[in-house]
Structure 1
């Protein structure tokens, strides 16, 4: 009996060390530094997202490279969060509706990734999606293993630390361009609609590489004439720009006619 107790006492430190290696532990001096996290987040702008393989809510492989060719919105959440993460997701959802109304349903994709890889399984992500009411086919809720999640968070400049209540992290939403590079970082769980839609508008309507001349011209007009209406909280095509342009042309024409007529009289 004494030998069994002694063996357990000798084994306990080994088990403790193994647990420390397997589970990230937040030390007192590892408190989340928001200023440092913000700097890392900003430094990620312009960096490329790696070709990672995650899993969708059905447990099927999802290639991040499959998103190339159009912009997408990327957010990192953990499903055990009951406050900030749902607020961010719902805020994204409301602004996605506005952005798609202005830019088109297929203009961009949305991706939400669970970064607590031990807990955020495809089943948990499916339940989270259902609770958020985000059933759109172009909104992907994804899970990953430790390696892919760590690499993805490094690429996006998203930092998090374990805490007694779950995790501490920036309220960060990332806009990624059609080439898979980070274009903009948006912060907060109640960000303004313009902060979300404007970078998407620039990416969708300002990218003329794959467009013909006519489509490029149309997109340029839309880029400058699709504006935010604070009264309705939506984006709309502003015809007043054309009215002002036409008025200017008519005024210039009237001045030219007057000058020509006076010149003829003077002769």
Structure 2
């Protein structure tokens, strides 16, 4: 093998390695998996996480985690305006789902307000229409569309992409099971799991976030992974790629309670892109010089 061919082969190998590294490097951070290869749950506060008095906490947690990786059934419910809405309507974007009951005087209002603050922080950085939120009223027939509309107003939830859904009483048990949600009636209301299900664009549950006082970071990190996706794919337009870069270059700031720009990833992207372009340019130059020398030898 000649020196020229060796140099050309070496440079091409470097380019291919750089391109491969760039594609891997462009992926969002991989979710942490547990021993069962499922996505590990986020528990905001393990002590009050499930708020269960009568329910078996271990069984409720096990049921919640068991549905990770599954797709809930395509149930049709009524929204806060009384219009029928199928769960499949929300596919195509990540979705956050929680369960509430409007007769709750403390826990559900508190968790809904915490979720509202987290959603507002994520909207500010990720974009208003990048993901949807659904709250399901499980106390039927009390949690009517009107009751849900009034509940949303009391919690100052005015998000256009946050829908409150009222299922038929006969469907409540099946819907709850499909999301891994547990509840039990008590003399003063309900014992129930406090969870937000993180669902990907295909409608599959990828993570359960537990607690009633979570901040934007507990939901923002799994949501960022879903929204970021692969930076490079055959379906990615320039606008989509820029949006994904903006989302991935976001970091939660606990001091302000909001997401801010993380310039370090921008620098890494610029450095990686420059390296790949430089390697391609060197390979092309080597290839042209090799072709020119070949022509001279033939002349």
TM-score of the two chains, using structure 2 as the length reference: 0.68
Give yes or no for the alignment of 1:77 onto 2:119. no
Match of 1:239 in 2: 263
Pairing 1:31–2:54 present: yes
1:194 matches 2:217 = yes
C-alpha separation in 1, matches of 2:120 and 2:234? 25
Q: Deviations over 1:87-115 (max 9, x none)?
A: 11101100101111111100001111100
For the 8 Å contact 1:206–1:223, the answer to whether it is kept is: no
Shift of 1:241: 4.1
Q: Cα gap change, 1:206/1:151 in structure 2, threshold over 3 Å: closer, same or farther?
A: same
Q: Secondary structure at the match of 2:65?
A: helix
Distance 1:214 1:60 in 2: 37
Against the structure 1 CA distance between its residues 211 and 227, is the aligned structure 2 distance closer, same or farther, given a 3 Å change threshold? farther
Contact map agreement 2:75 2:87 (CA 8 A) in 1: yes
Which residue of 2 is the match for residue 95 of structure 1?
Answer: 118
Shift of 1:242: 4.3
* Structure of larger gyration radius: 1
Contact 2:249/2:265 (<8 A) preserved: yes
From 119, 124, 128, the counterpart of 2:151: 128
Paired residue secondary structure (1:32): coil
Two-structure CA RMSD over aligned residues (Å): 2.5
Match of 1:67 in 2: 90
Q: Is the 8 A contact 2:227 2:244 kept in 1?
A: no
Are residues 1:177 and 2:219 paired? no
Q: Cα deviations across residues 119-145 of structure 1 (Å, max 9, x unaligned)?
A: 111111111111111122211011011
Q: Secondary structure at the match of 2:219?
A: helix
Deviation at 1:240, TM superposition (A): 3.6
Offset at residue 233 of structure 1 (A): 2.0
Query: Which residues of 2 match residues 4-23 of structure 1 at below 5 A?
Result: none
1:228 pairs, out of 242, 248, 252, with: 252
Normalising by structure 1, we get a TM-score of 0.76
DSSP 3-state at the match of 2:72: coil
Q: Which residue of 1 aligns with 2:160?
A: 137
Counterpart of 2:187 (choices 152, 164, 168) is 164
Is the 8 Å Cα contact of residues 80 and 164 (structure 2) preserved in structure 1?
Answer: yes
Residues 1:210 and 1:99: Cα distance change in structure 2 (over 3 Å): farther
Query: Quick check: 1:50–1:155 contact (8 Å CA) kept in 2?
Result: yes
- Which residue in 1 is equivalent to 2:285? none
Deviation at 1:244, TM superposition (A): 7.0
Query: Which sections of structure 1, spanning at least 5 residues, go unmatched?
Result: 1-29, 251-267
1:212 aligns with 2:205: no
